[in-house]
């Protein structure tokens, strides 16, 4: 595989052709935050938390699915990038239910962790939340779409690992939603028992019925500072 030269944060690097900006940055020890990205699944570019500045294009670029090109000049932590990342996380929080005190995944929630890392507190934007009834008819999965941030990790895990294609995405804009069949509650007809999607959920939207009754035992949030 040919090597190509890129510049990341002023450092010149030689990386394999075909790697993404995120992979190139991580190979050189640069940490770009991600939310929807999972290395073993195809990137969806859904969350935009990984945006970086590339010399040339006017807009910021999602690092997780953009391959590097010869001579690319990338800034991963410029003021413009940090401002955009914070705004993206603030917008996610503005539509998230915010019931962290009662959430079983509060201490291991990736959204909270990223917000803490980026120093994002209460969103500046008016909050507008989606509320859905808890789906607990399945003996294997409890789904609480009120906590879903539409990262699509469950969709990709179900499609690519379990190869079951249980989930889909429906509606548009603020009404977008991860659906099962024709927007039905998740039940044993739709989903049997693999539960592969549960650990991929970054928030508390997917849990096992046992999780519901457990204390919050996650690793405490570590705020990098
Ligand atoms: S991590 Fe790149 S778009 Fe979500």
CATH number for 49: 3.10.20.740
Tell me the residue ranges of DSSP E strands in the chain. 3-8, 11-16, 51-54, 61-62, 73-75, 142-143, 167-170, 177-180, 206-207
Q: Tell me, yes or no, whether 12 lies in a domain.
A: yes
Whether 100 is in a domain gets the answer yes
Same-domain status, 96 and 34: no
- Per-residue pLDDT, 68: 97
Q: pLDDT above 90 covers what percent of the chain? A: 69
155 has a pLDDT exceeding 90: yes
The pLDDT score that the predictor gives to residue 215 is 53
The mean pLDDT value for 94-117 works out to 88
Distance 63 CA to ligand 1 centre (A): 7
Specify whether 185 is located in the same domain as 137: yes
Residue 127's CATH number: 3.30.70.20
Instruction: Please list, in sequence order, all residues whose beta carbon lies within 8 angstroms of the beta carbon of residue 97, skipping any fewer than 6 positions away.
Output: 129, 131, 146, 147
Pairing of strands 177-180, 73-75: unpaired
In a domain, 165, yes or no: yes
What pLDDT was estimated at residue 225? 46
Last residue of one domain, picked from the residues 18, 49, 77: 77
Distance (Å) from CA 100 to ligand 1 centroid: 23
Nearest to 15 by CA among 3, 2, 31: 3
Q: Which of 2-11, 25-34, 55-64, 181-190 has the lowest mean pLDDT?
A: 181-190
Q: What is the pLDDT of residue 216?
A: 54
pLDDT for the residue numbered 16: 94
Residues 127 and 193 in one domain: yes
190 lies in a domain? yes
Residue 64 Cα: closest atom of ligand 1: 2
10-24, 42-56, 181-195: range with lowest mean pLDDT: 181-195
Q: Is residue 223 part of a domain?
A: no
Q: Are residues 52 and 94 in the same domain?
A: no
Number of domains in the chain: 2
Pocket of ligand 1 (CB under 6 A): 34-37, 45-50, 62, 64
The alpha carbon of 189 and the centre of ligand 1 are apart by a number of angstroms equal to 32
* Residue 6: pLDDT band with limits 50, 70, 90: very high
Average confidence (pLDDT) over 26-40: 95
Q: Predicted confidence band at 95 (pLDDT cuts at 50, 70, 90)?
A: confident
Whether residues 97 and 206 share a domain: the answer is yes
- Report if residue 224 sits inside a domain: no
**What range defines the domain where residue 30 resides?**
3-77
Separation of alpha carbons 179 and 61, rounded Å: 28
Same domain? For 112 and 206 the reply is yes
- pLDDT value at residue 223: 52
**Region of poorest pLDDT, from 67-76, 117-126, 166-175:** 117-126
Residues 68 and 150 in one domain: no
Residue 174 lies in a domain: yes
Domain boundary among 13, 47, 77: 77
Higher pLDDT, 138 or 19: 19
Whether residue 55 sits in one domain with residue 99: no
In a domain, 208, yes or no: yes
Stretch 23-41: mean pLDDT: 96
Q: What pLDDT, on a 0 to 100 scale, did the predictor assign at position 184?
A: 87
Boundary residue ending a domain (56, 77, 98): 77
Residues 109 and 56 reside in one and the same domain: no
Do 22 and 104 share a domain, yes or no?
A: no
Residue 215 Cα, ligand 1 centroid: separation in angstroms?
30
Please check whether residues 170 and 208 belong to one and the same domain: yes
């Amino acid at each position: 595989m040919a090597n190509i030269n890129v510049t990341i944060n002023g450092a010149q690097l030689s990386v394999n052709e075909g790697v993404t900006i995120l992979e190139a940055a991580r190979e050189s020890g640069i940490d770009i935050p991600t939310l929807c990205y999972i290395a073993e699944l195809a990137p969806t570019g859904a969350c935009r938390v990984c945006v970086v500045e590339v010399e040339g294009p006017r807009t910021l670029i999602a690092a997780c699915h953009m391959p590097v090109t010869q001579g690319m000049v990338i800034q991963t932590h410029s003021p413009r990038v940090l401002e955009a990342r914070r705004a993206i996380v603030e917008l996610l929080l503005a539509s998230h239910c915010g019931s962290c005190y009662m959430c079983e995944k509060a201490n291991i929630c990736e959204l909270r962790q990223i917000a803490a890392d980026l120093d994002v507190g209460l969103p500046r934007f008016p909050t507008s939340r989606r509320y859905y009834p808890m789906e607990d008819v399945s003996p294997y999965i409890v789904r609480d779409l009120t906590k879903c941030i539409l990262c699509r990790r469950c969709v990709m895990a179900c499609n690519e690992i379990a190869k079951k294609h249980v989930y889909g995405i429906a509606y548009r804009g603020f009404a977008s939603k991860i659906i099962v069949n024709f927007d039905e509650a998740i039940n044993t007809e739709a989903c049997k028992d693999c539960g592969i999607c549960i650990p991929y959920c970054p928030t508390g939207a997917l849990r096992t019925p046992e999780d519901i009754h457990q204390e919050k035992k996650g690793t405490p949030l570590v705020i990098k500072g």
